[in-house]
Amino acid sequence: MPYVRLLNSLGVGIIIATSLVHMLPPGLEALNDPCLNLNYSGLAIVLLVVTMLSMQIMETEMVVWLSPKEKLTDLNSSDFEGPILSPEPHSPSCQLSFQDNGNHNHHHHHHGDIVDRSPLAKKLNVILFECSVAVHSIIIGIEMGVASGDTFHTLLTAISFHQFFEGVAVGSSSQGAFTQLKTSVFVALGFASSTPCGIFIGILISGSYTPTSTAALWVRGILHSVAAGILLYMGVVELLTYQFTVNADFHAKTRRDRWTHYVCILLGAGVMAAIGYWA
pLDDT of 112 > 70? The answer is no
Residue 197 domain flag = yes
The residues with which 96 forms a beta bridge, in sequence order, are 85
Range scoring the smallest mean pLDDT among 21-30, 115-124, 208-217: 115-124
pLDDT of 170 > 60? The answer is yes
Q: Which domain holds residue 28?
A: 2-66+118-278
Average pLDDT of span 146-175: 75
Average pLDDT of span 241-256: 88
pLDDT of residue 73: 54
Residue 105 domain flag = no
pLDDT of 79 > 50? The answer is no
The span from the CA of 143 to the CA of 151, in Å, is 10
pTM, two decimals, is 0.73
Number of domains present in the structure of the chain: 1
Residue 96 domain flag = no
Residue 229 domain flag = yes
The span from the CA of 112 to the CA of 34, in Å, is 53
Residue 131 domain flag = yes
By percentage, how much of the chain surpasses pLDDT 70? 75
Are 83 and 98 in contact by the 8 Å Cβ rule? The answer is yes
Residue 81 domain flag = no
Residue 111 domain flag = no
pLDDT of 33 > 80? The answer is yes
Residue 61 domain flag = yes
The top-scoring range by mean pLDDT among 99-113, 143-157, 170-184 is 143-157
